[in-house]
Amino acid sequence: MNHKLVAPTPPLGWNSWDCYGAAVTEDEIRGNAEYMAEHLKDFGWSYITVDIQWYEPFANSSQYRAFVPLVMDEYSRLMPAENRFPSAANGQGFKPLADYVHSLGLQFGIHIMRGIPRQAAHAATPILGTTATARDIAHPNSICPWNTDMYGVDSSKEGAQAYYDSLFELYAQWGVDLVKVDDIAASRLYDTHQPEIEMIAKAIERSGRPMVLSLSPGPAPVEYAEHFAEHANMWRVTDDFWDLWPLLLDMFDRCRTWQGIPKEGCWPDCDMLPLGHIGIRSVDGGGADRWTRFTPDEQLTMMSLWSIFRSPLIFGGELRDNDEWTLSLLTNREVLRMHRDSYGAREALRRDDLIVWTAQNAEGSSYAAMFNVGEKPLPIDLDLEEIDLSGITEGTELWSGTPAELNGNTLRTTIPVHGVRLYRF
């Protein structure tokens, strides 16, 4: 099974973190899945992912409760909390919910933390397929700096691979299509956890079920790009991304660092899109229940940069509250076509407040995203030769649908503050 075939183009989906933190419920997952099936599936959106701590019965926000009892089966594997996910009753886990998401024509994802539950290690509970116990394989000095649920797994120990195999065997039985593994791509305390990435990739292969492997948090070190591409499908190039202009501005440097890396099955990930209604029970990112703090132009900038760079597009807001504007950001067929089919994205020009990214598609079209990162409107007269485009006779701005104003090979436009003009020539 070639893991790259699981995500030949960058995944599009929804994740519960930006709106519900660790506290999402089954009803909320089902409701967002229904919205996606009705309004977004025809545009290529497909993944519905339950983010962190679905095994914590009393999770209530994005602030974790330390050292609390977690729901676990007899083999040291975390299970959905039935008070939040009623269909998980009688040991069914996420299978009924995954079946429902699949019945809508969508795909089902879950978030897990790297490692083995600390409570399993302390109790020396069994692991399926080995005589080793959770205590035998736990690495008590390998901890997550911001969450107390897990110890790392010591890859040198007998039973370590068997534990990960048992996890992904369970996820395959449930029908999981995407697994977002956290505390693994980058760490404030340690380096990238390469041995555990390798064990997880092997476990997915042994499960017999194709699953997209997504690694968090960032910033993942670019010097490990080859290792990430060999074992995973997407990996975060940033820490948690929120609706603040300085974080968006910073993404231009991050995308430049990773340009040339995105290719079939291997997608550097700019993190979720904090759009629409967010912060409902997630207090991260410096805000409570709110609509995104990004201006409309900043929202277009984010969508344009993520799309031309070909980051996965994972929406963070409560889908059912989308207004027409927010829905329009997710259903622009020309922008989505660029995201799906383009190649060769690169930063072609950076001058004062102007940043230009270009890409191509197989039909001979060229794309150019022209960003104004300054604090006042930016009129430009740009000779397209400067960004290696010549012989251009016509073009369209993809968000507005208006024709490009061309005089010979010179493009004239005014880019709004923190805004973008995204062209196909």
Tell me the mean pLDDT in the region 150-160: 98
Query: Looking at the whole model, is its pTM more than 0.85?
Result: yes
Q: Tell me the per-residue pLDDT of 251-274, one tens digit each, with 9 for 90 and over.
A: 999 999 999 999 999 999 999 999
Q: Tell me the per-residue pLDDT of 319-335, one tens digit each, with 9 for 90 and over.
A: 999 999 999 999 999 99
What is the distance between the alpha carbons of residues 174 and 397, in angstroms, rounded to a whole number?
A: 44
In angstroms, what CA-CA distances link 336 with 35, 150, 365?
19, 38, 15
Q: Is 355 helix (H, G, I), strand (E, B) or coil?
A: strand
On the question of pLDDT at 1 being above 70, the answer is: no
What is the distance between the alpha carbons of residues 314 and 83, in angstroms, rounded to a whole number?
A: 27
Q: Would you place residue 190 in the very low, low, confident or very high pLDDT band (cuts 50, 70, 90)?
A: confident
The more confidently predicted of residues 256 and 287 is 256
Angle subtended by helix axes 296-309 and 245-258, to nearest 10? 10
On the question of pLDDT at 287 being above 80, the answer is: no
Tell me the mean pLDDT in the region 284-309: 94
Q: Tell me the per-residue pLDDT of 49-106, one tens digit each, with 9 for 90 and over.
A: 999 999 999 999 889 999 999 999 999 999 999 999 999 999 999 999 999 999 999 9
